[in-house]
Amino acid sequence: MKTITKKPEVLAPAGTLEKLKTAIHYGADAVYIGGNAYGLRSRAGNFSFDEMKEGVAFARKYNAKVYVAANIVAHENDTDGAGEYFRTLRDIGIDAVIVSDPALIEICALEAPGLPIHLSTQASATNYETLNFWHEEGLERVVLAREVSMDEIKQIRNNTDVEIEVFIHGAMCISYSGRCVLSNHMSMRDANRGGCSQSCRWKYDIFEMDEETGQPIGLEGNPDEPFSMSAVDMAMIRHIPDLVEAGVDSLKIEGRMKSIHYVSTVSNVYRQAIDAYCNDPENYEFNEAWEDELWKVAQRELATGFYYGIPDPNQQIFGKPRKIPKYTFIGQVIDYDEETNIATIEQRNHFKIGDDIEFYGPGFSHHKQTITEMWDEDGNPLDVARHPMMIVKMKVEHPVKPLDMMRKRKA
């Protein structure tokens, strides 16, 4: 009989305070955020210290944790002020910082004692000796390199007591553990210091210059689909039992720059799958609806990365992609009247009378309906909700709750 000794943590991305609250509401045990320094997502909605305080206070209400990514590769002068920064995070109540650079790790350990440190995936930890080394340096968790296989995770688990965190869903980087200088060369934006322009996802061809016109000529004859170095996205939803049985402590979702539609959907799905397996592993059955749900926010094909072998060409984006059904996040429930079945919606995208829509909420609740009646805040009938963030009242066919989401399929 299978017994689960420890349920792994669902760790979700939170690029903004709204996303932090959404992720926790939809089942995340912990979130990771970025501050205004030392992180690898300079274009994400990074948190001020005041926003961190609010986020930590919210997380505490739900017994959730907040981690801060400070995982740049530090050049000279990049560490200036780091000690004060880490002390501030500690005093705010941040549960851990995610760091890759040894200099920043040492500064944090010496100048902000009591603030737990997690080793970032950028540090490329791929064996248990490395984990034990960092454990001796005072780190309590290591985010493994994305190149580690499932068999290697089992070996690592059997030889170390350090907490293990792995990525289970989201974008994959074409470079080893995300350490890349292509963006620096192509756009003068340093990927290792927060400025990646995702140059690998651009389209490429081999060219020569026409001597007469001075214009480039594609040597491949201007193919319909130029070459790229772009990897498909990761999805481990079908392999939760393997991850749990391998002894992974934290299951990490990528995407601090993604929408609340993405964060809520993916957190919700993995919450359901992990709970279903851990609560009754003997009778666990994969629910196809979980994967169907993930496709509603997928941007690329999905695969399992390095977990079960070296990725083959099918895990690269070549040729015409399969047509992925696209859903638009169109509103969020802010109130519901049980007597009248009227929901109050904060509009996020255009919708109108006659649209087929879907509501979803925590616990994997779903229902579909057609919009038949809606009004503005003053009770005036509406045909279309076209103004961003406008408040709309709508007749609904099933009960909904505040923070439930509303979406529709694109034509």
Helix (H) or strand (E) holding 102: helix 102-111
Residue 193 pLDDT greater than 70, yes or no: no
pLDDT of residue 45: 62
DSSP-H helix ranges across 137-259: 150-158, 182-187, 240-245
pLDDT of residue 95: 98
Q: Return mean pLDDT, the chain.
A: 90
> In which band, very low, low, confident or very high, does the pLDDT at 36 lie, cut at 50, 70 and 90?
confident
For residues 76-87, average pLDDT: 92
pLDDT of residue 1: 66
Pick the more confident residue, 219 or 141: 141
Widest pairwise Cα distance in the chain:
77
> In which band, very low, low, confident or very high, does the pLDDT at 390 lie, cut at 50, 70 and 90?
very high
When mean pLDDT is compared across 168-177, 184-193, 274-283, 355-364, the lowest value belongs to 184-193
Residue 43 pLDDT greater than 60, yes or no: no
% pLDDT > 70, the chain: 91
- Each residue's pLDDT tens digit, 265-277: 999 999 999 999 9
Could you count the other beta carbons within 10 Å of the beta carbon of residue 371? 22
Token reading at 6: 């420890």
pLDDT of residue 204: 76
Helix (H) and strand (E) counts in the chain = 10, 21
> In which band, very low, low, confident or very high, does the pLDDT at 73 lie, cut at 50, 70 and 90?
confident
CA distance 400 to 335: 8
Contact 177, 124 (CB under 8 A): yes
Contacts of 49 (CB under 8 A, 6+ apart): 35, 88, 92
Q: Among 187-201, 294-308, 317-331, which range has the highest average pLDDT?
A: 294-308
Contact 401, 361 (CB under 8 A): yes
Tracing tokens 């997380």 back to the chain, one arrives at 59
For residues 174-187, average pLDDT: 72
Residue 340 pLDDT greater than 60, yes or no: yes
pLDDT of residue 312: 83
> In which band, very low, low, confident or very high, does the pLDDT at 207 lie, cut at 50, 70 and 90?
confident
Contact 122, 179 (CB under 8 A): yes
Pick the more confident residue, 43 or 270: 270
- Each residue's pLDDT tens digit, 266-313: 999 999 999 999 999 999 999 999 999 999 998 888 999 999 998 887
Contact 357, 371 (CB under 8 A): yes
Chain mean position to CA 306: 18
Q: Where are the beta strands (DSSP E) in 90-136?
A: 96-99, 117-119
CA geometry: angle at 304 spanning 202 and 172, to 5°?
30
CA distance 380 to 395: 14
Contacts of 335 (CB under 8 A, 6+ apart): 343, 344, 402
- Each residue's pLDDT tens digit, 398-411: 999 999 999 999 87
Beta bridge partners of 329: 407
pLDDT of residue 190: 62
Contacts of 41 (CB under 8 A, 6+ apart): 15, 34, 69, 194, 256, 257
- Each residue's pLDDT tens digit, 343-385: 999 999 999 999 999 999 999 999 999 999 999 999 999 999 9
Contact 300, 317 (CB under 8 A): yes
DSSP-H helix ranges across 93-217: 102-111, 128-136, 150-158, 182-187
Residue 198 pLDDT greater than 70, yes or no: yes
When mean pLDDT is compared across 54-68, 192-206, 296-310, 316-330, the lowest value belongs to 192-206
- Catalogue all structural domains in the chain, each as residue range(s) with its CATH number: 9-172+231-315 (3.20.20.380), 177-218 (no CATH), 327-409 (2.40.30.10)
pLDDT of residue 40: 58
